Structure 1
Amino acid sequence: MKKIISLLTVAIITLNSCSSFIEEENLSTVDADAVYKTAAGFESLVNANYSQLREIYGSEPWLFVAGTDLYAEGKNLEPIAISQYKLLSPSSPNVGYLYTEGFKAIQKANTGLYYSDLTATSSTLNARKGELKFLRANAYFLLVQTYGGVPIIKDYNPNPVLSFDRNSAEEVYNFIETELVSALALLPTGSYTGRVNKRAALDLLAKVYLTRGYESFAKSTDFANAASYADQAIAGQALVASNNTWMPDKDMNAETIFSVQFDPSSVTADPQKSGNAQGSYFSAYLGGAEVAGKAPYKAGTLLPTQFAISLYDQGDTRWENTFMNEIYEVYYDYYDATKKPTAKVRSFFAPKWFTAADKTAYEANLTATGRKATSYKYFAYGTYAANATIADYSGIPIRKFDDPKAPFATSSSSPRVSTRDFIVSRLSDTYLIAAEAYFKLNDQTTALARLNAVRTRSSATPATALTIDYILDERARELMGEYSRWFDLKRTGKLVERASLHHYRINANGGASSFIGTGGALKILRPIPQDVIDLNQNKNFPQNPGY
């Protein structure tokens, strides 16, 4: 909490054009007030807000994805309070991470907006104000989904503030809505280059309206607004047929709506702790250089559940675009066009449609082409999900976030090695947001059209009828490993049901009863961190139900 309520020290950083790197420049000996009133100084202050996104999304994944139906503990331990709701309390490890980093982002945005009224005018000033409003709204949206009502802080505080009131979730949503509508009037149109634009604000507004639409304080227009803003963000753009937008070096593709920018030049100070950790958690290969027959240690932290693996049908190109179901002796040979055709296979994870005849034919081909490694092992369907993973290479990796150019993490405690961008919003997600909004409006025809645009792109059989469970399944297939699943289940009221059914550790611990807190209150919200409550001089700041 001290980090939140004390005077914010804003790092001066420079965003190089629209490339994916941010370099830090220490200007601690310069009077900040004087610098920020110049056009160049204010620009660097805005860029500091973008840098904070790396801390929100680049490090800990737990509050975004743990404790759901799709991911569970594999070989490495997870924080059990968050991943299993076991003894979850306000003092549990990792509970406060998003709270702290979210309010850092809010304070930085408040600082930027304060100086936006004092700085020299420029041709980009209005756009930068819109960017700051978006970034502040985005931080509040993450917080209100995770913790419920939180303090609304709109002012720049040059001195420590020691007492806060807790606003209601309804008030926070209203503030987010106002901020984003205001940002829309300021932000530019045009292609995405790394900075927030009007399309990103449209996309976020659609998600905000959709999420509020499920709340007890929803407005009657929320689902209609969600559908409208999602369609405006889509703007008639079709998804690229058969295009795997997740291959390395494709982060800034035509379907990217908003992302967190990373680049090797910007993490040189500590390449083990300042990059993007997404790949390490979902497909971690740690320690040493890759050599044939001795690939690095596989962490296997957030591994797909059997339910997650079961969601893909034959012909759906997302199976191989999402998972590395064929692992080579040298893992990253997969991304080397010259080595891949002759690379030896050490592991194969059979999809659910693989028959005994398919296995025989596959292994005969490996032998005939000399690609069968001495250490080759075949994993039959049903034997390689999170609950079956007890050794290196026995669990199927989610490869969407692989970074062949990154150094290997030296340990599971320093996994932030990737310099690929972190994709926050992309076009297929927006199609699925639109589908869900139209479904809630009882417009099955339009909902199917939006959802089937995603399925058709992946050569999957079009859906003929929708339920909220089918929409959640489709979101799982399309967005596997992306940081939205806990929010999806919480929004739709499916968190307890689905986590209890499909998360093997939660199921073993009694299913839904794992979510029950003191007095029988469901722990649907994460707890307000205990240090936040302890350090707040306002002792009437309430905790969430169940804690």
Structure 2
Amino acid sequence: MRKFRIIPIAVFSIILAFGLKSCTDDILQEETRGVFTPEFFKTENGVQGGLTYLYQNMRNVFGFAYYLNLTETGTDEYVPAQNANNNFYDLDLAGQGNLSSESGYSVGVVWDNSFPAVNMASGIIENAAAVGIDNSLIAEARFFRGFNYFLLVQNYGGVPLDLGSGELAYNSNPLRKSVRNTVPEVYTKAIFPDLEEAINDLPAQPRLTGTVTKNVARLFLSKAYLTYAWWLENPNNIPTYPETPRTDPDSHDASYYFQKAYDLAVEGIENPGPYRLLDCFYNVHVATNDRNEEMMLYADRTEGSEIYNGANLGYSGTDGSANTAVWMVTSNYTAMSLDGISPVQREAAQSYGRPWTRMAPPIGVLTKTFEEKDLDSRYDATFVTSYRGNWDKGGVDKATIKGANDMEIAPGDAVISFLDEPNPNVNYVNGAGIGGGVLPGRADYVINPNEITKAFYPGLWKLGTYRTDNNGGLGSPNGAITRPFPIAKFSEFYFLAAEASVKGATGSYSAYDLINVIRARAGKWCYDNGEQEERIEDNSAAMVNATPDVIDIDFILAERSREYFGEGYRWYDLVRTQKWNELAETYEIGGSNATDHSISKTTRTIEPYNYLRPIPRGQLDNMDMTQAEKDAYQNPGYQ
């Protein structure tokens, strides 16, 4: 699928667009069309085609190859791994790279994809009423305009509201000049009004599988209120750009918006519509249960069609809308060798997939963030902690092979495992050729959680590959992932309300009450992923009893990391709360060789200006402005 690079001042008049639904399906269907003009939006097909584009466009950001690099590298959740290059070093801010307007494939993706969506939404909003389109459909466009402006303001600060035809007006005429609005203007003129109106007009139930609803809009407006409240408060004096006073145009202070965030999040909890918390955390992410009631918004893919999937199903590159983000955080487990064979082969299954070894969790994730691994099910349902033999699926005719301590391993048995707790008795012998150690009586090789390396570490199970066409073999692990990529979950209402409560908002539920709903669920086990067996266990009471009496922002951020680890939340969370430096300034991990379990400490240099991303070079180069004007357009500190 061809991808156009769009800058907001030269908004497209020719794009790839799509028609909406077939008569037999209740999911979005794509059909290539031609030109969108204001007249086209005055037809039902035009409106529906534009809306389908808005849903399709999410795939270009959420789940694309470097999405986790953009949102996780440089935080306390992920660091560059053995095969990282400057795409990853630039964003890690540890001195090996240089974050700039030309940094890799990451810094421009939100800019390049959000503005076409904003303009598309504006075209629908302006013209759809002329053909009597239901307000609920126009509300979907309003949601996406507010949603995309919220993405933009979090990444870049103030951005243009005028794309060439006036503020929030649809533009089809190329314009090569641009003026950035301030952060308060983007929130109060675009994000808040659009999402408020979307709440009013969207239905409680989705019109099609995966379309937005009243409660989806509530969640994002609550999050926008919360983020803006932090921006107004500015506890650590982080600079903004374009420079402007940290004041609200309507003279409201931060506490006003914290309260609005709380009230709206509670309203979402009490009016769930079709959404709910699932009974156990494992079921939220097991691939056989995708598109469940907890998932409120996702960038959808499909195994049924390469056209509708937006990427090749057999052997995919990392360009365009291919869902390949989890490849980057998967270490090369296929480097294992035992008894003359590769015991763990590349497989199209949730624990395996295609290993690129670009990003690794630092040791603190395994020893601090997920310190409690027995009561709390979230560690087990987030990571791949045991790599199991599948040589039989690859056609190797061996009933068993020799593992650790010369013991027999059969297909399905663990070849190498990451221990829950450090064990000083582990003797590293380069087991399986990938740095494993031995413990008496165990056939699998083991690695301590405080001795992982940049070469081999637990994979991210929750986003892993899933296919239904393996037919008993290894399947097609090199094809783009066909699962939906999660964007928003019902669980976040509890976090938003709890965070606002910590910041002074009041209401029926305290931060302690709200967080304990999440923690109680985390204590309920229905399956043991590491052991690959059923585990029916309820540790909810113990989890609640371990919750501190006084909840603070640090505890909420730790809980958010346990709940949403590796899904692209972390950079936004640390930037919003201005905790990035405090929580991610240093990290520890082993060496780049799988046998190097010696731990080194790395220090990042996170400058205040890094709290905004650079405006991408392609935007600056395409503007007909003086160099001085372009320099002033760029966020300070970047080239």
Q: What TM-score do the two structures reach when normalised by structure 1?
A: 0.84
1:257 and 2:296 correspond:
yes
In the alignment, what sits opposite 1:207? 223
In the alignment, what sits opposite 1:530? 617
Is 78-87 or 267-276 further displaced after alignment?
267-276
Residue identity in the other structure for 1:55: N
CA contact (8 A) 2:71 2:569 kept: yes
In the alignment, what sits opposite 2:343? 293
1:140 and 2:149 correspond:
yes
In the alignment, what sits opposite 1:239? 277
Percent identity over the alignment is 25
In the alignment, what sits opposite 1:431? 494
In the alignment, what sits opposite 1:343? 412
Inter-CA distance 58–19: structure 2 relative to 1 (3 Å threshold): farther
CA contact (8 A) 1:65 1:483 kept: yes
1:39 and 2:44 correspond:
yes
Q: C-alpha separation between the residues in 1 aligned to 2:391 and 2:212?
A: 35
Q: C-alpha separation between the residues in 1 aligned to 2:6 and 2:45?
A: 30
In the alignment, what sits opposite 1:336? none
Query: How many correspondences in the alignment?
Result: 507
CA contact (8 A) 2:334 2:342 kept: no
CA contact (8 A) 1:109 1:132 kept: yes
From the CA coordinates, give the structure whose radius of gyration is larger: 2
Q: C-alpha displacement at 1:284, in angstroms?
A: 6.5
Q: What TM-score do the two structures reach when normalised by structure 2?
A: 0.72
Q: C-alpha displacement at 1:249, in angstroms?
A: 2.8
Q: 1:152 aligns with which of 146, 152, 161?
A: 161
CA contact (8 A) 2:121 2:145 kept: yes
Q: 2:587 aligns with which of 483, 489, 502?
A: 502
Q: C-alpha separation between the residues in 2 aligned to 1:56 and 1:510?
A: 29
In the alignment, what sits opposite 2:98? 87
In the alignment, what sits opposite 1:163? 177
Q: C-alpha separation between the residues in 2 aligned to 1:332 and 1:165?
A: 61
Q: C-alpha separation between the residues in 1 aligned to 2:441 and 2:205?
A: 49
Q: Which structure 2 residues correspond to residues 285-324 of structure 1 after superposition, within 5 A?
A: 293-296=343-346, 298-310=355-367, 311-312=369-370, 313=372, 314-324=374-384
In the alignment, what sits opposite 1:72? 79
Q: C-alpha separation between the residues in 1 aligned to 2:26 and 2:228?
A: 33
In the alignment, what sits opposite 2:566? 481
Residue identity in the other structure for 1:301: R
Inter-CA distance 509–7: structure 2 relative to 1 (3 Å threshold): farther
Q: C-alpha separation between the residues in 2 aligned to 1:331 and 1:224?
A: 56
1:389 and 2:454 correspond:
yes
Deviations 1:165-196 (A, max 9, x none): 11011111112011111111211112683111
In the alignment, what sits opposite 1:451? 515
Q: Which structure 2 residues correspond to residues 336-375 of structure 1 after superposition, within 5 A?
A: 343-352=412-421, 372=443
Is 107-116 or 266-275 further displaced after alignment?
266-275
Q: C-alpha separation between the residues in 2 aligned to 1:200 and 1:84?
A: 34
Deviations 1:200-222 (A, max 9, x none): 00000110011111113364311
In the alignment, what sits opposite 1:223? 258
Q: C-alpha separation between the residues in 2 aligned to 1:8 and 1:399?
A: 41
Q: C-alpha displacement at 1:468, in angstroms?
A: 1.2
In the alignment, what sits opposite 1:418? 481
Residue identity in the other structure for 2:459: P
CA contact (8 A) 1:130 1:182 kept: yes
CA contact (8 A) 2:281 2:378 kept: no
Q: C-alpha separation between the residues in 2 aligned to 1:261 and 1:148?
A: 28
Q: 1:511 aligns with which of 603, 620, 626?
A: 603
Q: C-alpha separation between the residues in 1 aligned to 2:326 and 2:588?
A: 21
The two structures, once aligned, show a CA RMSD in angstroms of 3.4
Q: C-alpha displacement at 1:401, in angstroms?
A: 0.8
More contact order relative to length (CA 8 Å, sep ≥ 6): 1
Deviations 1:286-317 (A, max 9, x none): 999xx972512632222211111122203111
Structure with the higher fraction of residues in helix conformation: 1
Q: C-alpha separation between the residues in 1 aligned to 2:383 and 2:457?
A: 11
Residue identity in the other structure for 1:176: I
CA contact (8 A) 2:195 2:221 kept: yes
Deviations 1:415-462 (A, max 9, x none): x71111111110222211111111111669700111111111011622
